[in-house]
Amino acid sequence: MCGIVGYVGYRKVVPVLLHGLQRLEYRGYDSAGIAVLDSEKKKIVVEKQVGKIKDLQEHLWGKDINGNIGIAHTRWATHGPPSIENAHPHTSQKDEFAVVHNGIIENYAQLKEELIKKGYVFKSQTDTEVVAHLLEEYYQDNLLNTVLKVAKMIEGAYAIGIISTLEPDKIVALRKGSPLIVGLGENENFIASDIPAVLEYTKKFITLDDEEIAVITKDKVEIYNIKGEKVEKKPFTVNWDIAAAEKGGYKHFMLKEIYEQPKTITDTISGFFSDLNNPVYKEMKNIESIVIIACGTSYHAGLVGKFWIEKYAKIPVIVDYASEFRYRDFPVNEKTLVIAISQSGETADTRFAAIDAKKKGAKVLSIVNVVGSSLSRESDFVIYTYCGPEIGVAATKTFTAQLVTLFLFAVKSGFERGYISQEDFEKIHHDVNSLPSLVNEVLKEDKNIENISYKYHNAKDFLFLGRGINYPIAFEGALKLKEISYIHAEGYPAGEMKHGPIALIDETLPVVCIIPKDSLYEKMISNIQEVKARKGIVIAVTDSEDKEVVSLSDNIIKIPSVKNENLYPILSVIPLQLLAYHIATILGKDVDQPRNLAKTVTVE
């Protein structure tokens, strides 16, 4: 939800800011802007544009902006519609301060009223503008002290970057609730909402914690807490390759990320096995119940994880939307493990639900992709998924990595609890190791899936059906299609279809049926018969070559067979990712940045 980036150093700042914004565009893309301390004009130059970063880039062509220090922002509107006035950066009355902000200032209305009474004139409808005016109102002779004062006045969640003509050698950044990292370079330093924004300049970072303030010049970074005391922070280094944040010859990030899955699954497996001493496994002997909380695609991973944990670790699991779990009185104690799943580790709903559960006495394990993210630091235990950055707004490679992690976590927990022998553990490890090559097999269906997409891209609705461990994959297939093609789609457990959704079926409705040759195969055949009897169009995702499935299906997408039927979800989701991708591209939709969405949802 909004991306911010800032630079101070020896380079020309405008290209650095634009590159950073391009890599943060997944966070929001309705308007963008930059503020530069122009060394020649000795003032803050602000340029903004409605639309995407490329629109801002075009707007900047031929403009002569000189400077080595600046801040920039890409917006996902919360307060006020996308417009030039509402685009960030926002400046103070005398243009002495410029501010970029990700998050929500909850008490902005009251602050605004007080500032208006003092004579401040507001140019935008945003909550952010109050910060610029507050800085001007309270500045005496020290920017850090002013920021400390303003930080105590504003409520809500924020990551803020500030520059000022009054102290033109520095950026001051502060954080509470929204992500913010400081990138450390040689004679240059950076701030950003996320690592990929500045990955081409540095791999060394500090993560700001809540209520910390960074004062950044080109050769120094100092961190303070809200009391103004200096804080020592240990930098960390990421081994992400810059290529991971680029399209690498693919037309879209989403397609690249779908094709990366054999590699990301390999990395997730080896990451998991290099972390077998993770203290969470010792804890598993004491755990009596598990609650999985997550949103969107991560929630679907949790639904599959429930099957595995109950089977291998023999612990009852409930799975809840983080946004719902937080607001009900669910009893937890120290024998409850809450597993919070989040690609970004910044999703507000998931983070706050996990924090609340921890306060109530539960242990919290997070399964997270972004190293050092807020959720990973707020949890008792963390397991990373090792996918590198995922730029496409639709989650793909991080979903299969979450699945692999949950599967291995379930098996390892079963081993620790005495339900799985060493021999079985090794056998299962062997089954999991076969996944990357099986995923490669699935990817060979790409052309077939594209052809099927051409046949049905004009359908108004889609239904996705699966049974048992594959029913959450039906949910995920429907979500993928909805979010990037804007076609209405529903996912259902196939056995539930006759209790309502069957009424939707007619000769115009494509029904994607996930039917691996597993223990529920026959039941699924019966469900497909029910679809066919009502003239629905069947697209079967299957490893079966039985006559029955062939004769009932209008289209078949092949997946390879897998020895351990519990692993089918990791394969069966991939054709659904490709189906959504092709339908959306045929319809001319922006698959990497679908309308109204943002990759990281840091507001409740």
Residues 6+ apart with CB under 8 A from 477: 464, 489, 491, 512, 514, 573, 576, 579, 580
Select the residue interacting with ligand M6R from 337, 393, 473, 584 (CB under 6 A): 393
Only one of the segments 387-395, 428-436, 532-540, 562-570 lies at the binding site for ligand M6R (rule: CB under 6 A); that segment is: 387-395
**509 contacts: CB under 8 Å, gap ≥ 6:** 459, 461, 462, 463, 536, 537
Is residue 373 close enough to count as binding ligand M6R by CB under 6 A?
no
CB atoms within 10 A of CB 235: 13
313 touches ligand M6R (CB under 6 A): no
Q: Smallest distance, Å, CB 341 to ligand M6R?
A: 7
Best CA proximity match to 529, nearest among 558, 495, 552, 560: 552
Report the residue closest to ligand M6R, judged by CB: 296
| Beta pairing class for 236-237 and 336-342 | unpaired
| Helices and strands in the chain, H and E counts | 20, 25
Interacting stretch for ligand M6R, rule CB under 6 A, among 244-252, 263-271, 344-352, 487-495?
Answer: 344-352
User: Contact between 379 and ligand M6R (CB under 6 A)?
Assistant: no
Number of residues that bind ligand M6R (CB under 6 A): 16
Whether 2 is catalytic is yes
From 2, 295, 387, 513, active-site residue: 2
| Footprint on residues 579-598 left by ligand M6R (CB under 6 A) | 597
From the list 70, 179, 185, 296, which residue makes contact with ligand M6R (rule: CB under 6 A)? 296
Taking the alpha carbons at both ends of the chain, their separation in whole angstroms is 11
| 207 vs 542, beta carbon nearer ligand M6R | 207
The one segment of 5-13, 74-82, 272-280, 342-350 that binds ligand M6R by CB under 6 A:
342-350
Pick from 91, 350, 542, 572 the residue near ligand M6R by CB under 6 A: 350
Contact range with ligand M6R by CB under 6 A, out of 157-165, 216-224, 338-346, 431-439? 338-346
Give Cα 572 distance to the centre of its chain: 22
> Which CB, 208 or 481, lies closer to ligand M6R?
481
- Residue 344 sits in the site that holds ligand M6R (CB under 6 A): yes
Segment (H or E) for 522? helix 521-533
Contact 563, 430 (CB under 8 A): no
Among the listed residues 53, 191, 192, 395, the single contact to ligand M6R using CB under 6 A = 395
Closer to ligand M6R by Cβ: residue 4 or 368: 368
CA 534 vs CA 214, 456, 500, 509: distances in Å: 63, 18, 14, 10
Residue among 22, 49, 126, 298 that touches ligand M6R (CB under 6 A) = 298
**Selected range binding ligand M6R among 91-99, 267-275, 337-345, 452-460, rule: CB under 6 A:** 337-345
CA dist., res. 505 & res. 499, Å (int): 13
Q: Write out the two tokens for 25.
A: 């565009």
Task: Determine, following the binding rule CB under 6 A, whether residue 343 of this chain makes contact with ligand M6R.
Answer: yes
Distance, CA of 310 to chain centre: 27
Read off φ and ψ for residue 464, nearest 5 degrees: -120, 130
Instruction: Give the distance between the most distant pair of CA atoms in the chain.
Output: 82
Quick one: three-class SS letters along 46-82?
EEEEECCHHHHHHHHCCCCCCCCEEEEEEECCCCCCC
Q: Which is nearer to ligand M6R, 336 or 350 (CB)?
A: 350
The least distance separating ligand M6R from the CB of residue 400, rounded to whole angstroms, comes to 12
Residues in the chain: 604
* CA angle (435 as vertex; 434, 438 as ends), nearest 5: 90
Residue closer to ligand M6R (CB basis): 164 or 376: 376
Which is nearer to ligand M6R, 366 or 542 (by Cβ)?
366
Return the number of the residue (531 or 601) whose C-beta is nearest ligand M6R. Answer: 601
Report 470-529 residues binding ligand M6R (CB under 6 A): 483
Instruction: List, as one string, the DSSP characters of 423-477.
Output: HHHHHHHHHHHTHHHHHHHHHTTHHHHHHHHHHHTT-SEEEEEE-GGGHHHHHHH
**295 part of the interface to ligand M6R, by CB under 6 A:** yes
Is residue 263 annotated as part of the catalytic site, yes or no? no
**Binding residue (CB under 6 A) for ligand M6R from 128, 347, 374, 470:** 347
Q: Is 293 in the site for ligand M6R (CB under 6 A)?
A: no
Q: Which of 203, 218, 482, 599 is catalytic?
A: 599
String of DSSP letters for 89-146: PEE-TTS-EEEEEEEEETTHHHHHHHHHHTT----SS-STHHHHHHHHHH-SS-HHHH
In the complex with ligand M6R, which residue's Cβ is closer, 245 or 395? 395
**Cβ burial, residue 418 (10 Å; 0-12/13-18/19+):** exposed
**Which range binds ligand M6R by CB under 6 A, 151-159, 290-298, 413-421, 444-452?**
290-298
Backbone angles phi, psi at 212, to 5 degrees: -110, 150
Determine which residue in the list 115, 284, 287, 394 makes contact with ligand M6R, applying CB under 6 A.
Answer: 394
| Residues that bind ligand M6R in the complex, under the rule CB under 6 A | 295-298, 342-344, 347, 350, 393-395, 483, 597, 600-601
| Catalytic residue annotation | 2, 599
